Structure 1
Amino acid sequence: MKKSLIVASLAAVSMTPLAAHAQAAPAGAAPAAAAPAAASTPTVGAKVFDTQGGEVGTIEKLEGTNAVVYTGTKRATLPVSAIAKSDKGLVISMTQAQLNAAVAAAETKTAGALDTALVADAKIKSKDGQQVGTVQKVEGDNVTVALTDGNPVTITKQYLSVGADGGLALTMNSAEFKSAVAAASQSASTATAGADAKANTNAQSAATEAPAGN
C-alpha cells in the first residue's frame, strides 16, 4: 500500500518545511549599514534588532554556525558571524522588512528550481546525503517517491529542496525520514485494520439480520 507522509507524521520528527527556512541574503548584500564590531553570542529566544534599533525578530533555534531568526512572518537562516552585539542586544545590518523581502525572494527562487528538478526518475537524497529514492510522479504539491528500500510514499514539495549540485534533497536526514516513513506505515496499517474490522462487522450484521430462507 502506498503510504502518505502527512504533516502529522513529519511533525513527529520535528521537521520544519524548507520554505520557512529559506536562506536570506548574506549580510554583505544588505544595504550599507555600520554594524557594531563586538562579537555576539546568540541564544534561543534572544531578540534581534537592526542598526537603528528596530526589532527584526527572535532567535528561534541554533543550527551549528547558523541561527534561525523568526520575524513573525518569515524564518531566515543567518550565519552567526552576521549577527553582532550592541548595547541594546543582538543586531544585524538588515531591517525586518529587508529580511522578509530577502527570504521571500529566496523562497521564489527555490520554488522555481524545485519545480524544474522535479521530473520522473530524478534521484532524491536525504539531508545527510543518503540516497532514499527517486521521483515516481508529481501531482500538484504531492510528490510520490519510489523508495530504494520500501514501497512508494507521498510527501509534499515543502519537504524537498534543491542541493548545491542541482539534485533533489529532503529537508530531513536519513534517520528522520525513516522515522517518518515508519510512523506513516503504522498509521496506514492501523487505518486499514480498522476499515477491515468495520467491514467484517457490517457483513456479520447483515448476515444476522437477513430473513431466513433468503
Structure 2
Amino acid sequence: MADSDVSKLEANQPEIVRPMGNFLPCMWSDQFCSFSLDKQYANEIEVLKEKVRSMLVAAGGKSAERRHLINTLERLGVSYHFEKEIEDQLENMFSAYDHENNEGYDLKTIGLHFRIFRQHGYKMPSDVFNKFRESNGEFQESTTTDVMGMLSLYEAAHLRTHGDDILDEALVFATTHLQSIVTNLSPTLAKEVVHALKQPLHKGFPF
C-alpha cells in the first residue's frame, strides 16, 4: 500500500475521544516533582556512607558485630551502597568461621549468622544448631522462652536445602511455638512475629 493510500485511510478514521478523569487536585501540589538534592544534603549523605563503609571494613572489629551491621543495612534496604565491601567481608568471615567459638553465641545470633551466609550463597552447615538440641534430636524446650531466638531460627530455616533435616524440624518447631505465643506478646513484638509468619525475610529479599 502506498504512503498516500495510508494517509487517506488514516484521515477517514473517526477521531477517538478518550474520557478525562475528574481527579481531585493533589494535596502535595508539585513540591516533590520539583525537589532536588542540594549539595549540602549530598555531602552529608556521602559522609554517612563513608562512616558506614569504615565500620564494615574496620580492622580488629568483631566479625559478629559486622554481620549484625550487614543484616541491619539489608533490612533498611541500603546495602546496595556497599555491595563490594559486604561481599569481601562475608568471604573473609566465612573462611574463618570454623575457628570461631560458637558456644558463646545464643540462638538469635547463630540464626542470624546462618541466614546471612546462606542468603549470600555460602554453604553454612546446619549443624550449627545442634547445640540447641537434646540428645534425642529434639529442640530444647528452653529455647521456646527466647522469642527473638525462635524468630531467628524460624527465619534461618527458610534457607534450608535438600537434606537439611535439622532445618525441616526447626521450621515446624519454631512455627508451632511462635503461633502459640503470639497472643501473649507485646503489641510491637506480636506485630513482628505475625508479619514474619506471613512473609519470612527470605521471601521478601531481592537476593
Larger radius of gyration: 2
What TM-score, normalized to structure 2?
0.24
1 or 2, which has the higher strand percentage?
1
TM-score of the pair, normalised by structure 1? 0.23
- Which structure has more helix as a fraction of its residues? 2
